Structure 1
Amino acid sequence: MMKFKRLFLSLFLLGLTALSNLASAENYTLWVNGRGGGGVVGNYGSFTYWGPASTAAGVNKKAVNWDGYNSIASQNSKIRDALDCFCTGNNWCYVATHSAGDLMMGYTLANYGSSARLKKNAVANSGGQCGNTDGSTQTGWNIKWVRAASGAGGGSELSDAGSWAISEPLVKDLKTSTARAMYNHNNTANVWFYMYAGAKGTLYSGILPGQDDEAVSYHSTGGVAGNAGRSLCNPSDWLCDNLSLGTAANEGGSVKWSFHSVAFRDDNEAYNHYANGNWQGIISVVRTAMVNSAL
């Protein structure tokens, strides 16, 4: 009888431990800003870049703020801090990016996605860093997928032409040749990037090839591989090849980077590049997707 009681107690305590570990598992939605920044770096509740913090934007949403001015390499530790905080141990993350945030996230996974990461407790200090749990490590981060609003992983011709302030270190990174050579875009640590391409361009964005959202062209927002940008459009435009949905090759034969898929193509030319302080433009489409899918 005594042996039975001990066995029962051991199984009971083991069950409590399992339930405790299960209860501590959380999903988080991380939003990585682009050029210009605006949110308080290190403050995961500061959504100034995007819009009102009260707006629904996925489960346990966090603003992963970096300055949007300095180089991708110099600011990358801010993104790694956030991923360590919320995407290790029992916790998993959904990630949304905008514009240069796509370049930042791609750089992070290509260079650090297979590195050893200390498991963190998801309790951040004022600098955006979290404490260790048990001192153990894991390989990379627990990321379900990335959804990129107007992804600038392939750069923008506005940087090439100096249409943006050329003194900004980030603008140098956003030159098409620089962005495309910065890291191996095919290496995403097996994390899928779902691309959302806006097409509400204006006359002054004529410098951008093919369809664009006033700042970035389809060759970049569609995750299209190659050494330089190419002219890609909607099916209704006869002047250039079509950007295909999903992972399929585009009209004319250009292909996407590995683990990149076009989830949304703005066939109605309804969405521009900008949040306008209220989750607008192509960001609004990604926000809806996060609300529906980041659960």
Structure 2
Amino acid sequence: MRILLALCLLVASSLAAATNYTLWINGRTGGGTVGDYNSFTYWGPASTAAGVNKKAVNWDGYSSIASQSGRIRDALDCFCTGANWCYIATHSAGDLILGYTLANYGGSARVKKDASPNSSGVCGNADGTSQTGWNIKWVRAASGAGGGSELADGGAWATGNAIDNDLKTQTARAMYNHNQTYGIWFYMYAGAKGTLYSGILPGQDDEAVAYHSTGGVSGSAGGAYCNPADWFCNDLTLGTAPNEGGSLKWSYHSVSFRDDAEAYNHYTNGNWAGIVSVVRSAMVNSAL
């Protein structure tokens, strides 16, 4: 009887220690303090609701994806191992760096961490044991740039920073196996309020990234995809269905939101704005 009671208490203690976190991974240019998971400068006011136990996974936003992936791994190790699970939201190049990290490290051994980061954003070991990959429920990508952007191709983002080379469409698409997510679903949110760069970006866009990327369309180069009301361009379909014209989406990528009303642009404007506002609402309602 005592043994049974002890086992019950052990199980109850383990369940009580389990925590869900919502991780927000920024895109190009950065803005939040790297290593500080409570720094939401990139997004907007930190007081804004954005999912359970929200954390800002800040990387510098201008160095190469490969060199900054360690920042993402630190956060995933901290909050998405052991008994803890994560919901993840990304914006723009945040989709690229998370996709790269999962494809290359999602099957690796990860030491379970204690969710108590130091000033550098690194957590201590929990119990000394390891697991394979991370505990991630799903990802919601606002204006995902996993397929790159023609603004990088054409030099509109010619800052000399390494991220702009990584964001070239052919470079981004060849950087890693986009179909390898280790079973983690990427739900894509595609904005279409594009005006300034409409001549550079093919099909529908949000002024920075076109539908071929924000919709998770597979292939070695971008193409032109639009809303159903546009007769001069193949439709980006919702869900995992093939797009009009037959092109496919990457495995484990599904379009959750297509901006048919052309109401959302790319930019947060320091206040969770643009297409990020749609994802934030989804995180509030679903990341529990």
Shorter-chain TM range is over 0.9
2:281 partner amino acid: T
Larger radius of gyration: 1
1:265 partner amino acid: R
| Root mean square deviation of aligned Cα | 0.6
Normalised to the residue count of structure 1, the TM-score between the two structures is 0.97
CA deviation vs aligned residue, 1:57-86 (integer Å, no higher than 9, x gap): 000000000000000000000000000000
What's the counterpart of residue 232 of structure 1?
225
- Which residue of 167, 190, 202 maps to 2:183? 190
Equivalent pairs, count = 288
- Which residue of 285, 290, 294 maps to 2:287? 294
What's the counterpart of residue 246 of structure 1?
239
Q: Unaligned stretches of 5+ in structure 1?
A: 1-7
Q: Unaligned stretches of 5+ in structure 2?
A: none
Range moving further from structure 2, 165-174 or 90-99: 165-174
What's the counterpart of residue 256 of structure 1?
249
**How far apart, in 2, do the equivalents of 1:9 and 1:40 lie?**
50
Contact 1:205–1:215 (CA under 8 A) maintained in structure 2: no
Seq. identity, %: 76
- Which residue of 104, 123, 145 maps to 1:111? 104
**How far apart, in 1, do the equivalents of 2:140 and 2:158 lie?**
27
Does residue 158 (structure 1) correspond to residue 151 (structure 2)? The answer is yes
Normalised to the residue count of structure 2, the TM-score between the two structures is 0.99
Contact 1:43–1:127 (CA under 8 A) maintained in structure 2: yes
Contact 2:197–2:208 (CA under 8 A) maintained in structure 1: no
What's the counterpart of residue 29 of structure 2?
36
Cα distance, 1:218 vs structure 2: 0.1
CA deviation vs aligned residue, 1:78-111 (integer Å, no higher than 9, x gap): 0000000000000000000000000001001100
**How far apart, in 1, do the equivalents of 2:158 and 2:22 lie?**
31
Contact 2:110–2:131 (CA under 8 A) maintained in structure 1: yes
Contact 2:212–2:225 (CA under 8 A) maintained in structure 1: yes
1:251 partner amino acid: E
What's the counterpart of residue 166 of structure 2?
173
- Which residue of 245, 263, 271 maps to 1:270? 263
Contact 1:114–1:189 (CA under 8 A) maintained in structure 2: yes
1:54 partner amino acid: S
Q: Which runs of 4+ in 1 moved over 6 A?
A: none
What's the counterpart of residue 72 of structure 1?
65
What's the counterpart of residue 9 of structure 2?
16
What's the counterpart of residue 87 of structure 2?
94
2:60 partner amino acid: D
**How far apart, in 2, do the equivalents of 1:10 and 1:190 lie?**
38
**How far apart, in 2, do the equivalents of 1:12 and 1:242 lie?**
59
